[in-house]
Amino acid sequence: MRRREKSKAAYMISSVAEQYGLHPQTLRLYEREGLLKPSRSDGNTRQYTDEDLNRLEVILHLTRDLGVNLAGVEIILNMRAKMAAMQSQIEEFVQSLNQELAQRPRVVEPEEQMSLVPVVRIIPKAPVRTKRG
């Protein structure tokens, strides 16, 4: 069971339902369907964080504005999470690639030093040979 961190603001189900024009049972349904995962207090009261409210706003946009059913919402939210993870991996890869390229020696020919657009050649590393068995 998740517990909320002490530094984060939390909202009770009744205030969230009122703020978004929902019945509390709708929020409970979203939780049962796995779309929302509010934390719980020591007294087992649902507590919605700002992150939960942002997710709820996406759910409401998909259902109210775009007419997506709950199964579709689940698929879309899962795809968004996977895309965010992939974006993070791509950014890490580009960062490591940039670091590696910055460490490689560069050769600049004398005639290229006088060009308006600098031309830089990267000296490739020797290929790593592995034993095949």
pLDDT digits (tens, 9 = 90+) for 13-33: 999 999 999 999 999 999 999
The residue count of the chain comes to 133
pLDDT of residue 1: 43
Which CATH number, 1.10.287.110, 1.10.8.80, 2.60.40.10, 1.10.1660.10, labels domain 1-68?
1.10.1660.10
Mean pLDDT for 32-39 is 96
Closest by CA to 20, choosing from 66, 64, 80, 51, is 64
pLDDT of residue 28: 97
pLDDT band at 133 (very low <50, low <70, confident <90, very high): low
Q: Which structure tokens are listed for 7? A: 């530094």
pLDDT digits (tens, 9 = 90+) for 56-110: 999 999 999 999 999 999 999 999 999 999 999 999 999 999 998 888 877 766 6
User: In the beta sheet, which residues pair with residue 124?
Assistant: none
Taking the model in full, what pTM does it have? Answer: 0.68
Mean pLDDT for 40-68 is 96
Tell me the DSSP string of the chain: --B--TTS--EEHHHHHHHHT--HHHHHHHHHTTS---EE-TT--EEE-HHHHHHHHHHHIIIIIT---HHHHHHHHHHHHHHHHHHHHHHHHHHHHHHHHHHS-EE--HHHHTSSS---EEPPPPPPP----
Mean pLDDT for 108-120 is 66
Tell me which H or E stretch contains 39: strand 39-40
What residue ranges of the chain are covered by domains with CATH 1.10.1660.10? 1-68
